[in-house]
Amino acid sequence: MSAQIDRDEHTPQPLQPLSFPLSGRSLIEASAGTGKTFTIAMLYVRLVLGHDPGNASARPLTPPEILVVTFTDAATKELRNRIRARLTQAARYFQQAAEDSEDDDPLLHDLREQYDEHLWPSCARSLQLAAEWMDEAAVSTIHGWCNRMLREHAFDSDSLFSQTLETDQSDLLAEAVRDYWRTFMTPLDGRGATLVSTWVKSPAELQQKLRNLVDVAALLPQSTEPDEVLEARARKLDALKAPWKSWPEEMGPLLDAERTAKRLSGTSYRRDYCERWLAALTTWANDPHAASPELKTGWDRLTAEALLANCKGTPPSHPGFDALSTLRAELAELDAARTDILAHAARWVAERFAAEQTRRAQMGFNDLLSRLDNALHGPNGARLAEVIRQQFPVALIDEFQDTDPVQYRIFDAVYGARADRDETQHTLIMIGDPKQAIYAFRGADIFTYLDARRSCGTRLYTLAKNFRSTHEMVAAVNHCFAIAETRADGRGGFLFRDEAANPVPFIEVSAQGRAEAFAVDGETQRALTVWYLPPDGSDEGVRKSAYLSQMAASCASEMVRLLNLGLRDEAGFDSDDGRRALRPADMAVLVNNFGEAHAIRSQLSARGVRSVYLPERSSVLTSDQAGEIAHWLAACAEPEDGRLVRSALATSTLGLSFTELDALFCDEARWEACVLQFRGYRECWRRQGVLPMLRRLLNDFHVPARLLKLNAPSRASDENTDGERVLTDLLHLAELLQQASTLIEGEHGLIRHLLEEREAAQEGTGGDARQMRLESDGDLVKIVTIHKSKGLEYPLVFLPFACAYRAVDEKAMPLKWHDDAGRLHVAIEGTAGNVAQADEERLGEDLRKLYVALTRARHATWIGMAALDDLERSAIGYLLSGQNALGPARFVDALEAGFGVSAHTALLAAPEPGIERYMANDEAAHRGEPRRSARVVREPWWIASYSSLKTSDGVYTPAPETPDEDVFIETRDAQSEAEEDEDATLAPAPVQATSSALHDFPRGSEQGSFLHDLLEWAAQQGFAEVAKDPAMLREVVARRCSVRGLERWIDTLTDWLMRIVTTPFVLRAEHGMQATSVTLSRLPSALGEMEFWFAAARVDTLELDRLVCAHTFGGADRPALEQTQLNGMLKGFMDLVFEHDGRYYVADYKSNWLGADDAAYTPERIRAQMLRSRYDLQFVLYLLGLHRLLKTRLPDYDYDTHMGGAVYLFVRGLNAASQGVCAECPPRELIERLDALFMGETHALAAGLEIE
């Protein structure tokens, strides 16, 4: 892999925890399961005590002085807790008398013995103080520590004091790419632009291509600007084309002559073939935009070599035939322009990106490292390094095999050996395992690790005992890698061995063993079981798809068999304390990707076994639920758009069947209620936020309860239902949206943000907050990616797809490989040799991944194998045969030679897939019912309306957002009341089409809204203008009727609307009104759909109801309001506000159907309807709003002088004697007392009129 990395390898020496030197630079290589974290904690104890026998200047250190660095937040938390626990344990040990030691801990005993007994109390105090100080300990991720250093040492690092750390910089990158496009692509001439468009069509596509190039731009070759690159390419292309403008015409007769003379095949060189080939060459030569001729088979038949082979006698001679032999290769070389432009774009965008970050005082995570690295190697670098060394005399770097060149340069600059540094005064301890270096895709570089290893000289140490696994499991893993390590003609277990050295050898470890053993039917099981699919006798390898499906089925069947044995207490873990039965949580299946995870989960689910999938870094934004929530948000933001609401209802999570959806879409009343429901969600969104709205939506559709039922054991056969996963993702997304809503304005802004975040997640960007959460910690089988499993352990491990691998794609961009000196190289397009080198490095990492996978189990591991094509290119195939071909004929023999000779390994044909199901007791997984609150919880602040007040059925009616919505709610409720009214069920009398009466006009909320819309249009247009232009009136009515299928009502509605506009409405001198006559078309001033808001301060609706009932309609009986409290705002829309004879009125249109003819619209019937619908409450609130408005607008305002009252027009009763009019002006005392009530001035009420 890198033949000349190191020629002077030193063998690591076993680490002795109490004599390990705590000064200078050292490297500890800790194989899997050998107690690395335990060792770090023990070294920390020694550092706190100042225990370093080989260093006379050693002093006790405090937690803030001991830097411990690891690479993930989870590892940081674990390290901190483990160190704290060890310090506490050591403190207790030093507090005990020699004869009273409770803990049987040889290390602590030996450590204590190295101190005089009279020093033990002070040691205990130091240890206990350090344990209590751990919250301030310098235990951090590498990025967190770099960020801290840049902030704390801003002067020495030339950093800004205030910089923003951005977790997602995709927007800034997109802006830099757009700048590049505007600067270099837009100005290109037609020829250049046409060519570039065949490579990249837009800034978004360019950004996609640059996504993996920007970070390595410095390693790409320098390139000139695109116009120069394209100009040079054009010159070369024109030079190639120049002779071909005449050559085809000369070559044609030569071919014709040879064909006529029968010296050329008439089949391979048919006249039409030759003419088409030569015409293609001519067209290409004369087309400045054509990149290559469309020759197809002509490429192989028109060359001089082809003619020589196919011609009987001397072939025709012409420069064109000779040139065609090399033309294709020469044209291919011109494609280097594409890579040159991409390289230039990557470098330019990287520079612009960095400049914009500086201008905006922003940093990304990678910038934290690069800026500290630049500072340490800049003019003030030596001073900064000295300051950091004084602050942290000791640094312990965990997981050092995952380092990269920048990280290593940082620590080497601070703690590296220098002539002017005293190594006894500072310490750098690197802890890692090169056999577990599996994060190259994140930038980790094993060659950098080997550099650091060499810098430690002889101070290399190893942990040689495994504390995780049984003796048998450790021996089985040792055997697997010993096959390759001891192969005489091989490259060692990890592809690093050459004739001179092996910097990454496989060194066998011993085992501490475990107190329990995995047994089935009383027999201890083999540690490693290798399953294989027997070859079918052909020379063809097993297809990968067949391998995945068959091995998944076999693995799932065996897991079910073992689990059912566990239910019968015939499989489990035996110890001196008895047997613990095997459970699903004891099993883990390790996979490489989502496809493998889906294959095994489907098979497990079909057999009744629940599982949980732990991917490496899957964003919740890429889930189906993110797309569904986008549909929900769109519908809630615009509930008036039926298409959006239908899309939301059709999402799978809401659980509506096709039958239910069809019934909902066809039932007008149900559909209207559904639209109103989504309007309620919008109101909730605006008042409370997106999270409460989404929770309310989920509960309304019973989503949580239904999803959790899908995970019941009895339902586990459905492979498409993972309710816990879906619900976890939904709640996670809701939280992310709520967080984003604090920074984003408006509903549509949040929807756009979600869609953009989804797009970014698809491209692999986004922070840790977006990573999928574990949906359950229940008794489930764990499906884990190998990368995610690193550092974890499981009782039993299944590796069913061990043969799977993904070779390096020659089209991969960028292609990365290392030279013999370990230097990283990057190319946009690599040569065959570079691809081969990169693929060998891929195989090396796959071997390290296999090592990680095989060292996760405590007791047993199962491996699935098959004779795939090129199996030797996989990690397990390499272990078996090196890089020698391993076809189906050799497959079983190689397995026997490799695994059949070990006492700890069983080699078996893969189990036959069975139909046995896991027989877990459903009651064990039963979820208890949640406690339910018995009281009605109301919000302390809300927005009310007349509609929400009059609702008495307990259903929440949101305040209307628009006038149309206000009308919709009213007409819906009026229609509902009419259907319940015995008197309103009389059959309507037929009405002639020419009549202006509307008794036969269809009823319902939609028709009521239609009539209201016509009146609203007339008010907006101006009643006088409508009255003067009957043609315009008819045209508008006709158009609106046609849209709704009401064509037969055009004449009736036209006449009706004209009569309303021009009829004098008589207002009688009763109910507080002044006698007058009002004609809409003659009103001097009128305003339609006036919206009002006013505050409501803890208004008791019963008190409100009592006042209104006592002062309107003579105190007549009417339905009582439901008791509630108004605290917030009251809003509404007045259909019409107008001024007449110096008084101001509120008018409201009502489309209620009171009967079959004009006789039904008597003053008594209208009044009864007013009371039944509680329109009295509505007009009182409207007049209160108008009263408040007039007080602010009229300097001499007086209620008795200026207030006209409320006029209600029941528009279907226009031809009745009453004209459908109900008018009332409530007394001044009522309005003033309501004014005080809504302002919270209860003392004003007490001083008011006595109510009879």
Q: What does 31-94 look like in DSSP terms, one character per residue?
A: -TTS-HHHHHHHHHHHHHHT--TT-TT-----GGGEEEEESSHHHHHHHHHHHHHHHHHHHHHH
pLDDT for res 766: 52
User: Cα–Cα distance between 475 and 857 in angstroms, integer?
Assistant: 12
318 assigned to a ligand binding site: no
25: β partners? 428
* Beta-bridge partner residues of 529: 862, 906
Q: What is the 3-state secondary structure (H, E, C) of 779-832?
A: CCEEEEEHHHHCCCCEEEEEECCCCCCCCCCCCCCCEEEECCCCCEEEECCCCH
Residue 42 has a pLDDT of: 97
Contacts of residue 1236, defined as CB under 8 A and 6 or more positions apart, other chains included, come to: 1242, 1244, 1245, 1248
Residue (of 151, 821, 111, 17) closest to 429 by Cα position = 17
The full 3-state SS of 154-169, as one line of letters, equals HHHHCCCCCCEECCCC
32 is in an annotated binding site: yes
pLDDT at 930: 64
Euclidean distance between the first and final Cα of the chain, in Å?
101
Contact 594, 793 (CB under 8 A): no
Give CA–CA dist 219/445, Å, rounded: 15
Tokens representing 215? 């970070």
Question: Is 164 annotated to bind ligand?
Answer: no
Nearest CA among 319, 323, 322, 303 for reference residue 311: 303
In 3D, which of 951, 950, 959, 967 has the Cα closest to residue 1128?
Answer: 959
Based on the number of CB atoms within 10 Å of its own CB, is 1237 exposed (0-12), middle (13-18) or buried (19 or more)? buried
Which long-range CB contacts under 8 A does 120-125 form with residues at least 24 apart? 120/94, 120/95, 121/94, 121/95, 123/49, 123/94, 124/91, 124/92, 124/94, 124/95, 125/91
Burial of 409 (0-12, 13-18, 19+ CB in 10 A): buried
Give the pair of three-digit tokens for residue 80: 């901190």
The residue count of the chain comes to 1252
CB 492 within 8 A of CB 506: yes
Region of residue 764 (phi > 0: left; psi between -120 and 50: alpha; otherwise: beta): left
Selection from 664, 669, 675 nearest residue 636 by Cα:
675
- In 3D, which of 22, 79, 20 has the Cα closest to residue 47? 22
Is 1148 annotated as ligand-binding? Answer: yes
Tokens of 263: 């010296």
Domains of the chain: 13-72+137-159+364-463 (3.40.50.300), 170-361 (1.10.3170), 510-615+778-909 (3.40.50.300), 620-715+724-770 (1.10.486.10), 962-1246 (3.90.320.10)
List the catalytic residue out of 1148, 1158, 1176, 1198. 1148
Q: Are 750 and 741 in contact (CB under 8 A)?
A: yes
Provide CB contacts within 8 A for 528, sequence distance 6+: 473, 476, 477, 480, 854, 860, 861, 862, 863, 899, 902, 904, 905, 906
31 is in an annotated binding site: yes
Amino acid 867: pLDDT:
94
Residue 30, annotated as binding a ligand: yes
Residue 839 assigned as binding residue? no
- What type of residue sits at position 1173? S
37 annotated to bind ligand: yes
CA distance 1203 to 1143: 5
Q: Which ranges in 319-364 belong to alpha helices (H)?
A: 319-334, 336-360
Rounded CA gap, 990 and 765, in Å? 69
1148 is catalytic: yes
Q: Output the six-digit token pair for 167.
A: 């977790």
Find the radius of gyration of the CA atoms of the chain: 42
What type of residue is 1229? E
The stretches in the chain having pLDDT less than 50 are 2-8, 713-720, 922-924, 951-958, 972, 975-996, 1243-1252
Q: Tell me the two tokens of residue 1115.
A: 């105190």
Residue 622 marked in a binding site: no
Tokens of 1224: 């009332």
- In angstroms, the CA 434 to CA 440 distance is 12
pLDDT in tens, 43-79: 999 999 999 888 878 899 999 999 999 988 888 999 9
* The token pair that represents 335 in the structure block: 């494609």
Contact criterion met (CB below 8 Å) for 108 and 90: yes
Judge whether 1243 is annotated as a binding position: no
Q: Could you identify the residue written with the tokens 């964003």?
A: 619
Tell the residue number behind the tokens 């990283």, with chain if given.
824
Structure tokens at 439: 């994060």
pTM for the model = 0.71
Six-digit token string for 285: 């030569």
Helix ranges (H only) for 379-418 are 381-391, 405-415
What are the pLDDT digits (tens) for 122-162?
999 999 999 999 999 999 999 999 999 998 888 777 776 66
Query: What's the confidence (pLDDT) of residue 100?
Result: 64
